[in-house]
Amino acid sequence: MTDTTDEIETDESAEIEEPAPPPGVPITVNGEVFYAAPGRNLIDACEDAGVYVPRFCYHPRMTPVGMCRMCLIEVDTGRGPALTPSCMLTVSDGMVVETETEAVKKAQDGVLELLLINHPLDCPVCDKGGECPLQDQTMSYGPGESRFVEEKRHFEKPIPISDTVYLDRERCILCDRCTRFAAEVAGDPLIHFMGRGNQTEVNTFPDDPFSSYFSGNTVQICPVGALTAKPYRFKARPWDLSEVASTYPNAMGDRITIQSSRNEVLRYLGVDSDAVNWGWLTDRDRFSFEATMSEQRLTAPLMRGDGLGNVDDGGDELVATTWAVALQRLVTALEDADNNAGPESVAVLGGAQLTNEGQYAWARFAKGVIGTDSIDAQMGDGLPADIVASMPRTTISQACAKGGTIVLLSGDPKEELGSLYLRLRHAVVHDGATLIELTPNETGLTKHAAHSVRVRPGEVASVAAALVTGTGGDELAAASAAITGADSVSVICGRTSLADNASLTVDAINTFASLDTVRFLPALRRSNVHGAIDLGLTPGMLPGRTSLDAARAAFTAAWGSVPAKAGRDTAGILADAAAGKIAVLFLLGADPLADFPDPELAKAALDGAGLVISIDPFVNESAAYGADIVMPAAAFGEVDGSHTNLEGRITPLRQKVTPPGTARPDWMIAAELAMRLGKDMGFASVADITNEIAAVSPMHANADAAAIDAASDGVLVSGGPAWTDQGAPTPAPAYDRYSFRLVVDRTMYDGGTQTTMCPSIAELSKPGAVRISSTEASKLGVRDGAIVRISSQRASVEGPVVIDDRVASGIAAVAHNHVGLDIRSLIDMNELVTDVRIETV
């Protein structure tokens, strides 16, 4: 496409009068000539030409199979017209296509009659009724009545094929979409055709459910009501739903529509965005509307009080109050803090869950209004913000280009960033990309990796250096050649383990950055963390990926003032709070007790801080433990704004329902507080903030409210300081082979709010365990499920063993935030790595 555009531009600049010939080759569709790219699928080319060919099995993101025969049309490629499935033909020069002849109509009518003979006409009670391709196409192309007088085929209905998906085999028309999705897209071939002829059915293997993280996509692409999702079954009829296009707030920025009825969100559907998620969603994200609609949502501000519900600073209970009382208490505390210890005694933790606008409002409130720079959206589990801001970026589509080279230097994308996993998997499996994996344990992509290198925690920088310089010996020679020989390399970088110091990953990134061919995709996973970094919700930085010092003048002009010196990051803020130096601590959707790698420090911080304010849709663990004020925040689906994904792509995020009770959007709370402090920020609407971002941040200049609304794939922003060499890497710590090196990784279904507040998927979260390989287990003499004691120099905990051969030898892996085993007390954040001993008890 780019080439063609260039050609046309060249022609114009040369002032040639004749228009350039249209791109592609001529084809005749129903008597009219169109130009289409040779090789383009004919069914798509017809649609480009404005002629819709009915179809059931064809799906643009999957290999055509030509099974349903609905798209039969007459095509003449020089040997006379012949009935051909249009999804199986590609455009060739001079093709003559007829889609409305008698023969075509008869074939389509015939196929529909055949599809309907066994299809139960239970449309009035079918979830799909009203948005059903079979219903719609029967109305448009079908016979209108059936001549089938026999009894229809019967199956037990419906049967659960996974925890979230039900299958009604009577309704199934065997289009192979779900089974193809499972095998081709998700790589979880757990559903398949069984039986033959008219008794063919889709089913799982016995006792082996369709337990895919992506199973919900099959419900969305099913062309009939055969697959239904447990969270949506019988909840609504399509004609009662209204919808709005939005962006799911994960780090990928998956495009979705939010559908609701009577102010209740009932369904998220993936939207096919070329740039991002191709229409796919993980089940965790797809069904997370249950959390938004949870009855445990906060509906009014809470303050400490007595058992009778009276507000009382010394009380143990959280009791309901009004915004006016809560805000006044807070404003007084902020004024006192300013008067006593200065603005540095105020700190803000969190903010990654906010919209760009919420983040900007809070960054301005903290830095411009209060004057503190101690604000950090990351919870010590990400990468330093200046590193993320300055790494040369690539896009998902560039990283996943045909024949590209990808280095995976992050946690398992299948567990952390599901839709990125699907894009990477597609690139490697179907588009010939070369994947080089540098991870401690096997990931969901290992079996597709050209070079899967097991890197012991602590050694990633030395392995990266060996790869880049080609000094890794025979073992790394091939992987090294693949990296150094490629024209462009995309490095997916993030933390492989919370038990390692982030500096190790930074060293590895620094090594790769020495190659001109390398571009990065930061795989930080927490919702809008990339927006938080870009909009200055991080110490030492201001909106626009710029440092406090570099943009001091510009922001002093825009905001009135900025903090005099850089503040502290989350670990520093918590340490200060524990030392009694923080008078007011905001938890902006943050839950340090659950998420910060050092829970003892988090607890001490909550104890030591003066006033703790939690602004969150729920009362989280930290709020319950130590918040003095809890303010109910509006959740996703209840706020307007925009979102920044890991590429720097800004897409709109839209309000569909009203927040429960008196919950408010985060930006509004910041605006209100500023006003009450006598320093009005002048925000009356979300668009005001969006446009102010575009005005004050040069990298956001093309991302004003109108531009974000107009762009189909969002506005890609880029910029930030040039990469600076980070110096020599920290030497790898010595490895003692009597110990296990600890890896703390993440899973799709952890103990986070998004899982636990969704009844449909909460049970999918497995209890915590320490995973070791079968070899290590036999060395220790423990069986699967045995209880062991895991000890580091700092502490020891007990928990069950799970034998998992994806874990490398010498490594003990524990998933973060799972009920039953909290490993974090073993980690000393000042150490590079954590070594543990495992003993039977």
List residues near other proteins by CB under 8 A: 64-70, 72, 83, 85, 88, 103, 106-107, 110-111, 113-115, 117-118, 147-150, 173-174, 192-193, 195-200
CB of 198 to other proteins, least distance (A): 4
CB nearer other proteins, residue 183 or residue 245: 183
Q: Residue 746 in contact with residue 416, Cβ under 8 Å? A: yes
CB nearer other proteins, residue 149 or residue 728: 149
CB of 110 to other proteins, least distance (A): 3
CB of 664 to other proteins, least distance (A): 54
**Cα 315 from Cα 629, distance rounded (Å):** 12
CB of 76 to other proteins, least distance (A): 15
CB of 180 to other proteins, least distance (A): 13
Q: Cα separations (Å) of 278 from 59, 121, 643, 712? A: 11, 32, 18, 13
CB nearer other proteins, residue 84 or residue 395: 84
CB nearer other proteins, residue 69 or residue 656: 69
CB nearer other proteins, residue 41 or residue 250: 41
- Residue 429's Cβ-side half-sphere holds a number of Cα atoms within 13 Å equal to 18
CB nearer other proteins, residue 89 or residue 758: 89
The two structure tokens encoding residue 427: 């690139």
Q: How far is CA 95 from the centre of its chain?
A: 42
CB of 37 to other proteins, least distance (A): 18
**Cα 302 from Cα 723, distance rounded (Å):** 45
CB of 424 to other proteins, least distance (A): 23
Q: How far is CA 237 from the centre of its chain?
A: 28
The verdict on whether omega for the bond into residue 800 sits within 30 degrees of 0, i.e. cis, is: no
Residue the block writes with tokens 């689906």: 637
**Cα 170 from Cα 181, distance rounded (Å):** 20
**Cα 658 from Cα 283, distance rounded (Å):** 24
Q: Residue 156 in contact with residue 201, Cβ under 8 Å? A: no
480 in helix, strand or coil? Answer: helix
- CA-nearest of 643, 717, 712, 699 to 393 is 717
CB nearer other proteins, residue 117 or residue 795: 117
Query: Residue 65: is it exposed, middle or buried by C-beta count within 10 angstroms (0-12/13-18/19+)?
Result: middle
The two structure tokens encoding residue 424: 């990477």
270 beta partners: 256
CB nearer other proteins, residue 96 or residue 331: 96
CB of 200 to other proteins, least distance (A): 3
CB nearer other proteins, residue 78 or residue 124: 78
CB of 431 to other proteins, least distance (A): 16
CB nearer other proteins, residue 88 or residue 624: 88
CB of 169 to other proteins, least distance (A): 12
CB nearer other proteins, residue 118 or residue 503: 118
CB nearer other proteins, residue 37 or residue 65: 65
**Cα 460 from Cα 24, distance rounded (Å):** 48
Spatial CB neighbours of 121, under 8 Å, sequence gap ≥ 6:
none
**Cα 682 from Cα 410, distance rounded (Å):** 41
**Cα 215 from Cα 417, distance rounded (Å):** 15
CB nearer other proteins, residue 115 or residue 229: 115
The two structure tokens encoding residue 25: 């080759």
User: Which helix (H) or strand (E) covers residue 388, if one does?
Assistant: helix 385-390
CB of 147 to other proteins, least distance (A): 6
What does the DSSP 8-state code read for residue 731? P
CB nearer other proteins, residue 36 or residue 605: 36
The two structure tokens encoding residue 61: 């993101």
Largest CA distance in the chain: 90
Q: Residue 794 in contact with residue 836, Cβ under 8 Å? A: no
CB of 149 to other proteins, least distance (A): 8
CB nearer other proteins, residue 172 or residue 529: 172
- CA-nearest of 249, 250, 267, 237 to 258 is 267
- In SS3 terms, 230-288 reads as CCCCCCCCHHHCEEEEEECCCCCCCEEEEEEECCEEEEEEECCCCCCCCCCCCHHHHCC
CB of 669 to other proteins, least distance (A): 57
List strands edge to edge, sheet with 611-616: 317-320, 302-305, 629-632, 611-616, 584-588, 346-350, 375-376
Identity (one letter) of the amino acid at 490? S
CB nearer other proteins, residue 96 or residue 103: 103
How many other C-beta atoms can be found within 10 angstroms of the C-beta atom of residue 208?
A: 9
Spatial CB neighbours of 396, under 8 Å, sequence gap ≥ 6:
252, 275, 276, 420, 423, 521, 646, 647
CB nearer other proteins, residue 87 or residue 460: 87
CB of 92 to other proteins, least distance (A): 11
CB of 102 to other proteins, least distance (A): 10
